[in-house]
Structure 1
């Protein structure tokens, strides 16, 4: 699976564009298809939109130097809906002047809204749901830009975090259910908004707090920060998969280290599904399985060995262009450490199984390396349902756990055993709480099918 987007904003900073680029670089794991930066000098907006990864801009600093102003918002994208050519932030004109807006998430009623807006004369340049919100802002007749933005979001359903900018202010907000993340930080006199705390770290900003579900933060051009809660209150349903995979391990969520939570997940997994007595070692699938494998190894007492080595210099585009290259894609990205694997019984740790195709190829590599037995342990419950809140998951019929039993998956994957973390074990590892089956504390719809927001509109 892939995260959908990462967003960043900084106000009242004399290196706004450069720090925004650094922040987006730290959020690159959330989207690798494109990135955009828009700055404001209180008189005009300046924008840079590029396909590819953020590090390319650091070889061309003149482009950053053209982004004048003390305020900036930025976005990295992995498209989950709409066309892939549109790069955020989206810049347009409204009756308050120029505005720029970017978001992380997915609006479940975007198609219906776009149809109605088209009937009212709105002309769409893309099919991304961010443009729906842009048009809703434009046609709203409230007194201020913020009022128009709130009015627009009162008409949408889904999961989202937004950053927006005008000549006068920067706005950041989370959806009323708090499904998508957004944090507030500060560097010197500059306030910062970002999808994750790792984006604060890279520019030397300190974390103030996470925005609450349904909270709106405004930062004026003079640096004044205000907080308000204009939306009807909903039950908080933060995406629990941020803990399992999406967030970087060096980020902090709900005052918890993601790295430490993932180790705890591995520990609970070892308690629920201990290794067989004849297992020789724990082997993580890099990089997604490493943190949980450390916890599993610590609990089980077996040594952790890097039996699979990842090539970090293989980009997404490189492994996709031709059928011949696609067929060896796993070998391009992973290689087995044959010397330590031959004739060994291993416990293979990964964070999840989606389609199962990549993991099946990794198992094939391990068996070819001479591994005697592979006992597969997954540090999340089985993914049986699609995500409609901005995560790029396949349709249900393509999810292996939705179509096959564990016994069938063992045969398909060609492993000796397979165990998943239970949903109860996941809640215990993340928050030391029992899952409230009537009103779950997190969004865990990809495991349970319990969607906290209506997906039918």
Structure 2
């Protein structure tokens, strides 16, 4: 809607990102101060955004009224302020975390100093709970807790909910490592590096074509027969989306001599797409779509499969479901989206973008 309105006004777009549309909205409403333009634009936006805008005279950070994506304010030793989507960025530059930017808040840094304005008030917040599970780095702090600790607790709870008769716990590195450590700690089972990750290979889930993804996966992970052979292994990962990667990992572990492969996932089944900024598969491509856990286990070739419950997730996170978005697991979208109709990031990509000729 906003895209079409701006096109009718004569604005041309070079890409399909929502940040380009936000920039166009701000520039078309740029008054005396950038802060006023941002304050006028924020109520026009619906969805998730954590945005920083920089001009010659100011830096302005603003966050959607639900607080779906993280955004934090930090301070350097000399007193200067900085913004980052994740608090771990402050550690690198020697800054301290001051606080998270509040949902619906705008903070500006200029010659007038730091100024805060609550532009939009919301009845509820909806921080994406998948940030705690996977999206954010483990050294980031969200809602006052370091995610490395949170993910370890998820692994401990996963053992409590779904123990396995096994000889060894291994992680799918790197995102499954904290939960695997927690699972091993709670179970008393030994943990070892049964899969070695090549960190110079691109993400497999964004590579076009199944054959290229398969080749990329074999380059990305190398199982160690000396550790795995003859053992019943528990494989801990943070999530399963399509299931293609997981199925191939199970196959590689069996080829390396694993006697049994038991999968434990430190998140519930992903059954719905994300409409708030994350490129997930279409629902029909998701391995959990219209499948039971037993059917998923058979599909990927595992001896057993268990997911962490939604209750277990929130126990580890330490805050209730009412202040989070868990739509990718439950289909309950905080903005009231219809899970059968919303296309998320694909809406803009389905519009033919006509390049400017001048």
TM-score with structure 2 length normalisation? 0.89
- Taking structure 1 as reference, are residues 116 and 380 closer, same or farther at Cα in structure 2, changes over 3 Å only? same
Preserved CA contact (<8 Å) 2:196 2:224: yes
Report the counterpart of residue 268 of structure 2 in structure 1: 381
In structure 2, the CA distance between the partners of 1:354 and 1:327, relative to structure 1 (3 Å rule), is closer
Aligned to 1:7: none
Is the 8 Å Cα contact of residues 377 and 419 (structure 1) preserved in structure 2? yes
1:378-410 CA-partner distances (Å, limit 9, x unpaired): 000000000010011111111111131111111
Seen in structure 2, the aligned counterparts of structure 1 residues 267 and 432 have a Cα distance that, compared at 3 Å, is farther
Question: Which residue is equivalent to 2:71?
Answer: 182
Could you list the structure 1 runs, at least 4 aligned residues long, displaced by more than 6 angstroms after superposition.
321-324
Aligned-partner SS, 1:410: helix
- Which position in structure 1 is the counterpart of 2:323? 441
Of residues 297, 307, 312, the one that matches 2:194 is 307
* Corresponding residue of 2:41: 152
The aligned residue for residue 96 of structure 2 is 206
Return the alpha-carbon distance in structure 2 between the equivalents of residues 331 and 135 of structure 1.
Answer: 43
Q: Closer, same or farther in 2 for the Cα pair 1:131/1:333, shift >3 Å?
A: same
Matched, 1:196 2:81: no
CA deviation vs aligned residue, 1:331-374 (integer Å, no higher than 9, x gap): 21111111011111011100000000011111000000110111
Structure 1 Cα separation of the partners of residues 319 and 2 of structure 2: 40
RMSD: 2.0
Aligned residue runs from structure 1 range 244-323, under 5 A: 244-276=133-165, 279-316=166-203
Residue in 2 that maps onto 1:346: 233
- For 1:370 and 1:331, the matched residues in 2 are separated by 17
Residue deviations 1:148-190, cap 9 Å, x none? 1121121110001010011211001111000010111111232
Q: 2:171–2:194: 8 Å Cα contact kept in structure 1?
A: yes
Residue of structure 2 aligned with 1:356, choices 234, 239, 243 = 243
Please say if residues 201 and 216 of structure 2, whose CA atoms lie closer than 8 Å, have aligned partners that are also in contact.
Answer: no
Are 1:329 and 2:216 an aligned pair? Answer: yes
Are the equivalent residues in 1 in contact too, given 2:202–2:216 (CA < 8 A)?
no
Question: Runs of 5+ in structure 2 lacking a partner?
Answer: 343-358
Question: Matches of residues 9-88 of structure 1 in structure 2 within 5 Å?
Answer: none
Deviates further, 186-195 or 308-317 = 308-317
CA–CA distance in 1 between the matches of 2:148 and 2:27? 42
**Aligned counterpart, 2:356:** none
Is the 8 Å Cα contact of residues 133 and 153 (structure 1) preserved in structure 2?
Answer: no
Higher relative strand content: 1
Give 3-state SS (helix, strand or coil) of 1:402's partner.
coil
Aligned counterparts, 1:85-234, within 5 A: 112-140=1-29, 143-187=32-76, 188-221=78-111, 224-234=113-123
**In structure 2, distance between residues paired with 1:243 and 1:386:** 17
Note the C-alpha offset of 1:120.
2.3
Mapping for residues 413-428 of structure 1, pairs under 5 Å: 413-428=300-315
Distance 1:251 1:117, change over 3 A: same
C-alpha distance in 2 between matches for 1:155 and 1:324: 42
Distance (Å, rounded) in 2 between the aligned partners of 1:453 and 1:404? 27
Report how many aligned residue pairs link the two structures: 337
1:139, 1:172 → 2: CA distance? 18
Q: TM-score, normalised by structure 1?
A: 0.71
Structure 1 CA distance, aligned partners of 2:211 and 2:126?
A: 43
Please point out which of 242, 256, 261 is paired with 1:369. Answer: 256
Contact 2:107 2:116 in 1 (8 A): yes
